[in-house]
């Protein structure tokens, strides 16, 4: 029900889980300051755009949206537009907004999004634009209110920023330096989530295995996982993203011995050629990467391993690309998120000589996807006839008569069920496996687990 006295707000979110979670916080803060959510951007009195810069495509979508909002504001002059997230940190975008898009009222940063209600108020009171794109030097706020998008799983930020400076990547420039949240605060937040009935938490950071390096306490990511693994009521702990270079034996052992940390490893490979890995400043070789995955398979049987791969990095030869294909075939990933290299403003790779045509890059992407999809299908087919514990997330998006959930290995499973199963742990036998989804049937009554 809409409360007519309240102003309506809408937040458009692009990019990674970090942004999704920041938007959940902004929504809660804006609700506290009197706004009411609307799904319909056209009827909103306040539109917040939480942007992503990781590839050109993401930026183009935001620029398109800004064009539409310009027209919306012509019809409704009281409309407030606020732009934050990674694009807001780019000096070129800031210049563009000042000169070409002055209808954007507030520009805020990736480290001061919790001040958004105050910045909006300032813009309204002064009737002028407010520019505060801060990605550094902000005190990390304590536990903030969150409007959780799901009733089943919750995001928890554990570390902000990134210090890695992979040469293609914009993130260290948009999110600032690494800053870990105190372990006690994370622990308290997760206890509270478990008490509220969330069965799964996803720990967030651009490089979660750097966690704790900047803190004085005797803590690292493995130790944090050990602490959280003991929290009663919680069933599953996930994390993203972990860097292959920092994936220590201590961490593998901790995950192997833990009860709640899921048997899913997302380890962005980026490229399978040592020459390209070096140019990317990734800090590992193809041999290191392969050894790491072998170790994981030995210590955590049945684990799934997924990855990110970039094709067409400047100077990537046919031979380099074949090495990527070769490693993909050897490691046998459960899934890969694959991208064509996109030059990013201000990064070292953007200045490197790039003489591969866009056509050739598209061909490489197609070939890589073909190889990977076949492997994904084969791995998924091995799930057929077996039973897995599924955490039910809600109705299936493609067929609302059915339920959808995930295995601990992060495979999406769709199945029938009469009663309300959202947020339940159930056993499902897999009948038919496709590349992106497994289909199965409910094995027994709801599992009674003593969590
Ligand atoms: N911190 C995470 C996520 C970074 S962004 C990590 O280190 O893995 C998510 C993915 O986008 C990256 O893993 C990479 O594969 C891809 N990516 C980043 N910059 C890119 C660029 N300039 N062009 C194409 N893909 C890029
Ligand atoms: Fe970007 Fe590399 Fe940091 Fe990931 S680890 S966010 S790819 S610089
Ligand atoms: Fe995009 Fe920024 Fe996330 S660039 S991927 S929103 S860290």
Residue 213's domain comprises 153-381
Domain containing residue 228: CATH number = 3.80.30.20
Q: Are residues 377 and 392 in the same domain?
A: no
Mind listing the pLDDT tens digit for each residue in 325-364? Answer: 999 999 999 999 999 999 999 999 999 999 899 999 999 9
Query: Is the pLDDT confidence value at 209 over 80?
Result: yes
Q: Are residues 421 and 356 in the same domain?
A: no
Q: How many whole angstroms from 86 Cα to the centroid of ligand 3?
A: 6
Distances (CA, A) of 285 to 243, 255, 281, 337: 13, 23, 10, 20
Nearest protein CA to atom 14 of ligand 1, as residue? 308
DSSP string of 131-165, one letter each residue: EE---SSPPPPSSPP---S-SSEEEEE-EES----
* 314 in contact with ligand 3, CB cutoff 6 A: no
Q: Are residues 351 and 404 in the same domain?
A: no
pLDDT score, position 131: 87
In a domain, 358, yes or no: yes
Phi-psi region of 325 (alpha: psi -120 to 50; beta: other; left: phi over 0): alpha
Q: How many whole angstroms from 129 Cα to the centroid of ligand 2?
A: 32
pLDDT score, position 451: 54
Q: How many whole angstroms from 152 Cα to the centroid of ligand 3?
A: 24
Least confident range of 9-13, 106-110, 258-262, 291-295: 106-110
Domain containing residue 98: CATH number = 3.40.50.2300
Last residue within a domain, chosen from 381, 400, 430: 381
Q: Are residues 368 and 440 in the same domain?
A: no
Q: How many whole angstroms from 169 Cα to the centroid of ligand 1?
A: 6
Distance CA 204, CA 224 (A): 13
In a domain, 171, yes or no: yes
Q: How many whole angstroms from 50 Cα to the centroid of ligand 3?
A: 10
For residue 415, list its beta bridge partners. Answer: 403, 440
pLDDT score, position 417: 87
Distance CA 49, CA 15 (A): 11
Q: How many whole angstroms from 276 Cα to the centroid of ligand 3?
A: 23
* 243 in contact with ligand 2, CB cutoff 6 A: yes
The predicted model gives 83-95 an average pLDDT of 93
In a domain, 113, yes or no: yes
Residue among 246, 182, 241, 158 nearest 207 (CA): 241
Q: Are residues 50 and 178 in the same domain?
A: no
In a domain, 409, yes or no: yes
Q: How many whole angstroms from 54 Cα to the centroid of ligand 1?
A: 7
Yes or no: say if 305 and 265 are a contact pair by the CB < 8 Å rule. yes
For the chain, give the percent of residues with pLDDT over 90.
Answer: 88
pLDDT score, position 448: 46
Distance CA 170, CA 53 (A): 7
Q: Are residues 38 and 173 in the same domain?
A: no
The predicted model gives 426-433 an average pLDDT of 96
Mind listing the pLDDT tens digit for each residue in 246-296? Answer: 999 999 999 999 999 999 999 999 999 999 999 999 999 999 999 999 999
* Dihedral, 320, 326, 332, 335 alpha carbons, nearest 10: 30
Query: Is the pLDDT confidence value at 197 over 90?
Result: yes
Last residue within a domain, chosen from 103, 132, 161: 132
Q: Are residues 287 and 187 in the same domain?
A: yes
* 204 in contact with ligand 1, CB cutoff 6 A: no
* 108 in contact with ligand 1, CB cutoff 6 A: no
DSSP string of 200-221, one letter each residue: EEEEE-TTGGGTTTT-SSS--H
* 267 in contact with ligand 2, CB cutoff 6 A: no
Distance CA 402, CA 439 (A): 10
Query: Is the pLDDT confidence value at 130 over 90?
Result: no
Nearest protein CA to atom 1 of ligand 3, as residue? 52
DSSP H stretches of helix in 247-341: 249-257, 274-280, 286-299, 318-331
Q: Are residues 179 and 328 in the same domain?
A: yes
Q: Are residues 191 and 207 in the same domain?
A: yes
Q: Are residues 34 and 84 in the same domain?
A: yes
Q: How many whole angstroms from 422 Cα to the centroid of ligand 1?
A: 32
| Longest distance between any two alpha carbons in the chain, whole Å | 65
Q: How many whole angstroms from 235 Cα to the centroid of ligand 2?
A: 29
In a domain, 144, yes or no: no
Last residue within a domain, chosen from 350, 365, 381: 381
For residue 20, the surrounding DSSP H or E stretch is: helix 17-32
Tally of domains in the chain: 3
The structure tokens listed for 170 are 């914009």
* 396 in contact with ligand 3, CB cutoff 6 A: no
Return the ligand 3 atom nearest residue 19 CA.
Answer: 6
Domain containing residue 400: CATH number = 2.40.50.140
Q: Are residues 367 and 401 in the same domain?
A: no
Ligand in nearest proximity to the CA of 281: 2
**Residue 52 contacts by C-beta under 8 Å, 6 or more apart in sequence?**
14, 15, 16, 19, 58, 59, 62, 85, 86, 87
In a domain, 139, yes or no: no
pLDDT score, position 142: 81
* 174 in contact with ligand 2, CB cutoff 6 A: no
* 156 in contact with ligand 2, CB cutoff 6 A: no
pLDDT score, position 265: 98
Mind listing the pLDDT tens digit for each residue in 367-397? Answer: 999 999 999 999 999 999 999 999 999 999 8
In a domain, 40, yes or no: yes
Return the ligand 3 atom nearest residue 170 CA.
Answer: 4
Distances (CA, A) of 329 to 121, 208, 333, 439: 55, 27, 8, 26
pLDDT score, position 398: 84
Residue among 83, 217, 196 nearest 148 (CA): 196
Q: Are residues 229 and 298 in the same domain?
A: yes
Yes or no: say if 175 and 110 are a contact pair by the CB < 8 Å rule. yes
In a domain, 332, yes or no: yes
* 19 in contact with ligand 3, CB cutoff 6 A: yes
Q: What is the pTM assigned to this prediction? A: 0.95
Confidence tier at 446 by pLDDT (50, 70, 90):
low
Confidence tier at 126 by pLDDT (50, 70, 90):
confident
């Amino acid at each position: 029900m809409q409360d007519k006295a309240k102003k309506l707000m809408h937040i458009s979110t692009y990019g990674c889980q970090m942004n999704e979670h920041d938007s959940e916080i902004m929504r809660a803060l804006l609700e506290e300051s009197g706004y009411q959510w609307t799904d319909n951007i056209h009827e909103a009195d306040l539109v917040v755009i939480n942007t992503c810069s990781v590839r050109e495509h993401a930026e183009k979508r935001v620029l398109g949206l800004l064009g539409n909002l310009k027209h919306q504001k012509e019809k409704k002059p009281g409309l407030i537009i606020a732009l934050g997230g990674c694009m807001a940190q780019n000096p070129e975008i800031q210049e563009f907004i000042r000169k070409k898009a002055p209808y954007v009222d507030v520009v805020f940063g990736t480290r001061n999004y919790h001040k958004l209600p105050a910045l909006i108020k300032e813009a309204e009171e002064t009737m002028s634009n407010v520019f505060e794109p801060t990605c550094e030097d902000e005190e990390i706020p304590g536990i903030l209110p969150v409007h959780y998008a799901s009733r089943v799983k919750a995001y928890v930020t554990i570390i902000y920023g990134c210090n890695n400076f992979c040469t293609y990547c914009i993130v260290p420039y948009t999110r600032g330096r690494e800053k870990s949240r105190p372990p006690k605060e994370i622990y308290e937040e997760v206890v509270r989530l478990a008490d509220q009935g969330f069965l799964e938490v996803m720990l967030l950071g651009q490089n979660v295995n750097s966690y704790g390096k900047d803190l004085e306490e005797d803590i690292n990511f493995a130790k944090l996982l050990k602490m959280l693994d003991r929290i009663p009521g919680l069933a599953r702990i996930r994390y993203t993203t972990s860097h292959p270079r920092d994936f220590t034996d201590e961490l593998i052992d901790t995950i192997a011995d833990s009860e709640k940390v899921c048997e899913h490893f997302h380890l962005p490979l980026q490229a399978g050629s040592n020459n390209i890995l070096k140019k990317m400043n990734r800090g590992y070789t193809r041999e290191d990467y392969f050894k790491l995955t072998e170790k994981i398979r030995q210590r955590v049987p049945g684990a799934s391993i997924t990855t990110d791969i970039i094709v067409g990095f400047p100077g990537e030869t046919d031979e380099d690309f074949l090495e990527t294909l070769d490693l993909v075939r050897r490691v046998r990933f459960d899934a890969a998120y694959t991208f064509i290299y996109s030059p990013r403003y201000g990064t070292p790779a953007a200045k490197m000589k790039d003489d591969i045509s866009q056509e050739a890059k598209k061909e490489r992407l197609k070939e890589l996807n073909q190889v990977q999809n076949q492997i994904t299908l084969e791995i998924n087919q091995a799930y057929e006839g077996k039973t897995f514990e599924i955490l039910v997330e809600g109705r299936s998006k493609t067929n609302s008569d059915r339920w959808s959930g995930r295995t601990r290995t992060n495979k999406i499973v769709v199945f029938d069920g009469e009663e309300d199963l959202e947020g339940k742990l159930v056993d499902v036998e897999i009948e038919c496996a496709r590349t992106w989804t497994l289909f199965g049937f409910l094995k027994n009554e709801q599992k009674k687990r003593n969590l």
